[in-house]
Amino acid sequence: MSRPTTRIPTVGPPVSPGRRRRLTLGMGALLAALVLALLPLPEGADQARAATAESSAVTKSGAAGRYDDFSDLKVTVHQTKGLRWQGVKVSWTGGKPAPVLGKFNFLQIMQCWGDDPDKGPDRRQCEFGNEARIPPGTSRDVSPTTDPQETDDFTTDPRGNTFVPFRPVSGPSTTSRLDTTYFSAGDTNSLSWLPNDGKGEGEAVFEMKSSLESEYLGCGARTTASGAVQPCWLVVVPRGEHEPDGVSDVSRPTLTSALSRSNWNQRIVFRLDFEPVTNTCDPDKPERVIMGSELATDATTAWQGELCRTGTHRFTYTQSGEELARNVVLAPSDSSAGLAMTLDPVQAPEGTAPVVHAPVAVSGLTIGFVWMYEKGTFNYAPFKEVRLNQRLLAKALTQSYASTMVSSQDAVPDYLTGNPRYIGGDPEFLKLNPAFDGNDFNSPIGLVITSENTDSARMMWEYILADPAAREFINGEKDPWGMKVNPEYLKDGVITDSLDYFPKADLTPTTVECSGGAAGLTMARTGQEVVPYATDMHEAAVKIRRGDIGTAYECTVNQSITKWATVERATPVTQRQMGIVDNASAVRYQLNAAALPNADGEYVKPTNDSLLKAVAEMPDSEVAGVKAADPARMTDGAYPLAAVVYAAASLGQAKDARQDYAKVIRYAAGDGQTQGTASGQLPYGYAPLPAAMRTQAQQAADRLEKGVVASAESPGAGTTDPEGESGGSGGTGSGGGAGGLDGGTDTGGTTGGDSAGTAGAAAPDPDASDTSRPSVAQTDPAKQNVAQSGGFTPSDMLGLIRWVLLGVLIAGGVAALAGPVMLRLSVRRGTAGATAP
């Protein structure tokens, strides 16, 4: 029996198809708005570390070959434009897992030059081969015997070996398969063995090289007739389970080369667009020298081209310790630096001209690392998430792990007996990093550091020594597991509260007998040969990325002369190095960053957000308006090793020099805060200056341009120079304020008028009420929302776009619903009125 149906009478006219569509679209828009509002930003979108230019990422697929099918393989190169000497992530999915034993299912990657935009490079134009430790398939050897498709464009050397020569942009081709004229095991960037993981996936960081590093590839230097930069290429050759002749035999000792014709035919080619490397600055322009902190190097060199293009001078940057730079700018000459990049302020002595400070960059120190280890036989995995506390840093910096002093074959020195040989075997490290399940020897042997006296090194020691557990360890107290400090660091004066470099105090020698010469020739190896100093933090980052820090365990003899033989460079799957580097270099070369504890005990990595939070919490230094890094007091998500770089200049310089350096400051605080990879932009690894600091820098530039102006309240305090400006006595006062003056009365002013100043003009009081410039409370970034940044980061843009889209979707949804709803309401009111008594 069927159920009776009940018709529900409709109120008003029937719903038309058009109205039904509007209702559907309106509800859909509102639902999309809700989803968008709740959707989190992509992981790491706010990071200063993520390198970014992901907008130029390109994904391509493989193809089926004669014996192996790569059509499911998808390879992504995560940056293909705006390139320079840097690391670029390459990831892949859809391959077959590499076997536990055997040399199957892996990728080979190389950088090439070539001018054909359609075909890309030929195999003679690729940097490939000569890798250390001779990984599978790494040679340039080819043969018709092993590859039926091999053509005749190879070369035969005098010994009868057939190979593909390397043909550079200019100069002769190589003449043998082992020719190292252009690249060798120590510097080649080719990656010939990148095995797929257990899911058939993987990732690697490829070291891109411009023409400045690899002139033979010419990337960034070769141009078309119209002046456009010619492309370079990244070539990925997938390898399966068969050789070109169809044989699949894991026992074969040597695989055929990626350049062998059948293998080469499976290549996946990516176009690479490099930034121009040619110096567009007229060398005849007069020079202005800037010098100072390495934390400013990447930013300052990125700005150089734009500063030269729009100015009358070319600006050169001399990297040095900050203390040296501070001393130089106190008495600048025509040929020396007139602008110092420094973390700590310049203290102008009594009787000298005041010094102005302008914030120009926010960065910091990073414990950068590359850490591959073996999770079971032939199962290689990257270890990316590392936590280090102050005591672990103290252990590494005091050579308290035996791996920093001797090789794995040597006995542990008596004075380090009982200590873990490697950091990976330290119970404290394992407690903080339970995800590490590799062997202890699958860990870095030590921290790569520089020997320079720097403000940033002092900041690191302040961070370590402020922690009671770390300080007690350095003072000789064992950790809870019984590990003790290297006794060489207990000696008076080795570790002090004002230490501004990283000493290698243990020079205990290990006698090494040299090979290749007469018996009895030896050398004395110390910790400085095991973990050598790097020239600077940029070099340290490159060495860490390559997994090759220059360690020497053995010595050799050549014509009775002994010398150290450095350890061969590690293969990509066995690289594991760690060091203290600047954040810009860590990001540039795609190093992983260790998370460090702040005062809350929260482990934090350097990101735009965590760097700016640190800036907001920094106290003033002894010079008002100049922030002091205070790593021990950072809280609430702030990164402890953040730092602000200040441009400091004396007001006593000549007028034209002050104008030029003021221009540098204005650019740095203006267009120079836009993050990006192009010339003139702020490199990733720096956080854009907060708005308050940008204002502060512009005010400092105004003061620098005006120079020293005598105070009307202090007759005779200034003297008129030949250019119509007044000189001044430095005094001992500290002007402070937004401009960060030190060493004299604040005479800069920030209002309009003649920026060069007028002799004898009254100097504005920086503490007086002046509505024409922000108060200290207004300009102090600690008193402002750290989100007020003058530049837009990728996270900022994603956030803005998300909320704009949210508003558009809501407005559209409301508009789409409004018509039908209002119409139905009017009909309902009309119906109610007709039936009312």
Residues 380, 373 contacting (CB under 8 angstroms): yes
pLDDT at 782: 34
Rounded to whole angstroms, the Cα distance separating 613 from 364 reads 13
**Residue 670 burial by CB count (10 A; 0-12/13-18/19+): exposed, middle or buried?**
middle
Highest mean pLDDT among 44-58, 277-291, 551-565, 763-777: 551-565
| DSSP per-residue string spanning 747-776 | ----SSS-TT--TTPPPPPTTS--TTS--H
pLDDT at 650: 97
Least confident residue range of 10-19, 248-257, 290-299, 503-512: 10-19
Q: Which helix (H) or strand (E) holds 807?
A: helix 794-835
* Confidence bin at 716 (pLDDT 50/70/90): very low
Coil, strand or helix at 329: helix
Q: What is the mean pLDDT of the chain?
A: 83
* Confidence bin at 13 (pLDDT 50/70/90): very low
Sign for the CA dihedral angle at 657, 663, 666, 672 comes to negative
Interval 298-348: pLDDT, tens: 999 999 999 998 888 999 999 999 999 999 999 888 889 999 999 999 999
* Confidence bin at 748 (pLDDT 50/70/90): very low
pLDDT at 837: 35
Least confident residue range of 264-268, 372-376, 436-440, 586-590: 372-376
The stretch 542-571 carries a mean pLDDT of 93
pLDDT at 758: 31
Closest by Cα among 17, 540, 62, 468 to 294? 540
User: Is pLDDT of 11 > 60?
Assistant: no
User: Is pLDDT of 754 > 60?
Assistant: no
User: Is pLDDT of 18 > 80?
Assistant: no
Closest by Cα among 115, 78, 82 to 233? 115
The stretch 753-763 carries a mean pLDDT of 33
pLDDT at 281: 85
The stretch 389-402 carries a mean pLDDT of 98
Interval 70-120: pLDDT, tens: 999 999 999 999 999 999 999 999 999 988 777 899 999 999 999 888 889
Closest by Cα among 140, 66, 148, 68 to 110? 140
Query: What 3 state SS string does 546-591 have?
Result: HCCCCCEEEEEEECCEEEEEECCCCCHHHCEEEEEEEHHHHHHCCC
Rounded to whole angstroms, the Cα distance separating 333 from 329 reads 9
Return the amino acid letter for 756. Answer: A
Interval 643-693: pLDDT, tens: 999 999 999 999 999 999 999 999 999 999 999 999 999 999 999 999 999
Q: Which residues pair with 358 in a beta bridge?
A: 647
Coil, strand or helix at 235: strand
- Read off the tokens for 18: 């058009």
User: Is pLDDT of 822 > 50?
Assistant: no
pLDDT at 740: 66
Interval 434-483: pLDDT, tens: 999 888 888 999 999 999 999 999 999 999 999 999 999 999 999 999 99
* Confidence bin at 818 (pLDDT 50/70/90): very low
Interval 369-390: pLDDT, tens: 999 987 766 677 889 999 999 9
pLDDT at 115: 86
Residues 707, 757 contacting (CB under 8 angstroms): yes
Q: What are the two backbone dihedrals, phi and then psi, of residue 585, each rounded to the nearest 5 degrees?
A: -70, -35
* Confidence bin at 743 (pLDDT 50/70/90): low
Cα diameter, the chain: 124
pLDDT at 261: 96
The stretch 47-61 carries a mean pLDDT of 70
CB 600: neighbour CB atoms within 10 A?
A: 12
Residues 698, 669 contacting (CB under 8 angstroms): yes
> What is the DSSP pairing of strand 642-650 with strand 339-342?
antiparallel
CB 504: neighbour CB atoms within 10 A?
A: 21
Q: What are the two backbone dihedrals, phi and then psi, of residue 18, each rounded to the nearest 5 degrees?
A: -65, -45
Of all residues in the chain, what percent carry a pLDDT higher than 70?
78
* Confidence bin at 807 (pLDDT 50/70/90): low
Interval 212-256: pLDDT, tens: 999 999 999 999 989 899 999 999 999 999 999 998 886 776 689
User: Is pLDDT of 550 > 50?
Assistant: yes
The stretch 625-639 carries a mean pLDDT of 96
pLDDT at 19: 42
pLDDT at 30: 45
Residues 666, 345 contacting (CB under 8 angstroms): no
**Bigger pLDDT: 676 or 22?**
676
In terms of DSSP H, where are the helices of 679-769?
A: 691-706
pLDDT at 206: 97
**Bigger pLDDT: 136 or 460?**
460
- Read off the tokens for 137: 């398939």
Coil, strand or helix at 523: strand
Coil, strand or helix at 542: helix
pLDDT at 660: 96
The stretch 121-129 carries a mean pLDDT of 96
pLDDT at 701: 98
